[in-house]
């Protein structure tokens, strides 16, 4: 069954900040420092409209300054939760992941990219296997936090046990425990929650054993 879209509503077009190796998941948080002039303009635009923009993860081997379509098309609509602008014009902000979206075209390229987007809901069929894999993921996260092998809060695993939706759990875990940029993008693009869990379990097992991924 489709998982309902996050609120507030996702607009049809959205600015895109093009970054190498950066991935934001729904229910995740991404701190950003804005200093380039084009992204200062992007931030001003977002704050004056719906406070949203996407992170465009650059495709492997692509020069984002020269390629007409340089980013992975599956990304996440992010909402600016907090923003502090300094006297020198730079800004620090916290971007909260709201909803998976697909970039289907470009409205503008300069001074910053604005994409046409379509929300992409996840697919979840809850059964015993999904429930078992979800519990295994949470158990592995507890093991990892106790071993201090990743910079995640020890309270996070307890928080995960209070969440009922497996899709939400997978996204929070991917945001906080998975560091490999290619695997993060793969998990973001995996709309089927069962398949996402099946990818997370061996990844977390490796981390728990001391082999970070």
What is the C-alpha to C-alpha distance for residues 59 and 212, in angstroms, rounded to an integer? 23
pLDDT level of residue 210 (50, 70, 90 thresholds): confident
What is the C-alpha to C-alpha distance for residues 213 and 209, in angstroms, rounded to an integer? 11
pTM of the model: 0.90
Match 């209070």 to its residue by tokens.
162
- Which pLDDT value is given to residue 67? 94
Summarize pLDDT for 74-117 with one digit per residue, the tens.
999 999 999 999 999 999 999 999 999 999 999 999 999 999 99
Local structure of residue 58 (DSSP, 8 states): B
What is the C-alpha to C-alpha distance for residues 144 and 157, in angstroms, rounded to an integer? 9
DSSP H helical ranges for the chain? 37-48, 128-147, 154-161, 166-177, 181-189, 193-208
Residue-range domains of the chain with CATH:
13-119 (2.30.130.40), 128-208 (1.20.58)
Summarize pLDDT for 37-54 with one digit per residue, the tens.
999 999 999 999 999 999
What is the C-alpha to C-alpha distance for residues 200 and 206, in angstroms, rounded to an integer? 10
Local structure of residue 167 (DSSP, 8 states): H
Summarize pLDDT for 113-151 with one digit per residue, the tens.
999 999 999 999 888 999 999 999 999 998 988 876 555
């Amino acid at each position: 069954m489709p998982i309902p879209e996050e609120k507030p509503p996702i607009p049809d077009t959205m600015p895109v900040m093009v970054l190498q190796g950066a991935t934001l998941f729904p229910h995740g948080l991404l701190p950003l420092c804005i200093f380039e002039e084009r992204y200062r303009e992007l931030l001003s635009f977002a704050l004056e409209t719906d406070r949203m923009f996407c992170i465009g993860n650059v495709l492997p081997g692509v020069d984002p300054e020269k390629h007409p379509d340089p980013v992975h098309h599956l990304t996440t609509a992010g909402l600016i939760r907090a923003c502090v602008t300094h006297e020198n014009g730079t800004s620090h902000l916290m971007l909260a992941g709201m909803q998976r979206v697909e970039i289907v075209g470009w409205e503008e390229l300069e001074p910053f990219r604005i994409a046409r987007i379509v929300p992409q809901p996840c697919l979840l069929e809850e059964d015993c296997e999904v429930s078992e894999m979800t519990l295994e993921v949470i158990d592995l996260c507890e093991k990892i936090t106790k071993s201090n092998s990743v910079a995640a809060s020890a309270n996070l695993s307890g928080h995960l046990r209070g969440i009922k939706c497996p899709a939400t759990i997978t996204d929070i875990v991917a945001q906080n425990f998975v560091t490999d940029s290619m695997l993060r993008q793969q998990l973001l693009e995996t709309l089927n929650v069962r398949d996402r869990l099946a990818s997370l379990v061996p990844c977390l097992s490796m981390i728990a054993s001391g082999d970070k991924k």
